[in-house]
Structure 1
Amino acid sequence: MESEPYPYDKWLWRSAPKTATGQKLAPHVARLMDHLADDALRFPGPESDDALSQDFRGIRSLLIDSDRQTGIDEP
């Protein structure tokens, strides 16, 4: 994340919120975890109304925007 390699997963979890992208993603990830804790997978709705899908779309959009800002603009 932010062009910094990570040696293992636990490091990434601790360090990601310290980056600009990680700070933007943190609220989306927190909401996603809250939905999972509320058993959202058990009661899915239409994708357009599904809270999990909306959070995943927000995460994807932020990651794409972050990449574009660094000059990466490919699929």
Structure 2
Amino acid sequence: MGAACCRPEAIDFEGDVNLFHFFLLRSVGKGAFGKVRVVQHKKTKTLYALKYINKAKCEKMKAVANIVQERRLLEES
């Protein structure tokens, strides 16, 4: 007579996601274009690393292609 399910429900990565879905926790690091923070999904309590960049700085330094390539690599992981 335990819990019906012990796993949190899956997150829909295809649906809309925005910053309001997460609690912003500690900062992990800072780079040339932005920062990385640990965030916690409000509903599932799952922890993630969130990287956010300054688009204007990225464009100014002509690094858009590098950022796009980094995103593609992370999506494949």
TM-score calculated relative to the size of structure 2: 0.38
The higher radius of gyration belongs to 2
**Greater share of residues in strand:** 2
Report 1 or 2 for greater relative contact order, CA contacts < 8 Å, sequence distance ≥ 6: 1
**Greater share of residues in helix:** 1
